[in-house]
Amino acid sequence: MDELVLSVPGYDSAHGVVVPVEGGTVSVEIVDGSVEIFGDRAGLRDLARWCLALSDESAPSGAHIHLDPGTIPLSLDSAPLMLARDPRED
């Protein structure tokens, strides 16, 4: 089985959650009350990097990022997306 490896810098308290992006495209849609996320390969890897950065042990609970339409990787027609480390987590 092939393995996919992504490089993600650790959380930096001076800069927050910062990740390199490939420049892919992701679209977030809300359809009948369901959130649907569509992306090309690079966009899905970009989204995965954001999630991995938030999962870093040194990222504090409540750390979050706001991805607005047109912010890589979100397409211009995407719904905004917020990703966050659970603030109830120790």
Phi and psi, residue 48, nearest 5°? -60, -40
Dump pLDDT digits (tens) for 19-74. 888 999 999 999 999 999 999 999 999 999 999 999 999 999 999 999 999 988 99
User: pTM of the prediction?
Assistant: 0.86
Please state, in angstroms and rounded to a whole number, the distance separating the CA atoms of residues 86 and 11.
15
Return the SS3 of 74: strand
Q: Which residues have C-beta within 8 Å of that of residue 1, sequence separation ≥ 6? A: none
Confidence of residue 9 (pLDDT cuts 50, 70, 90): confident
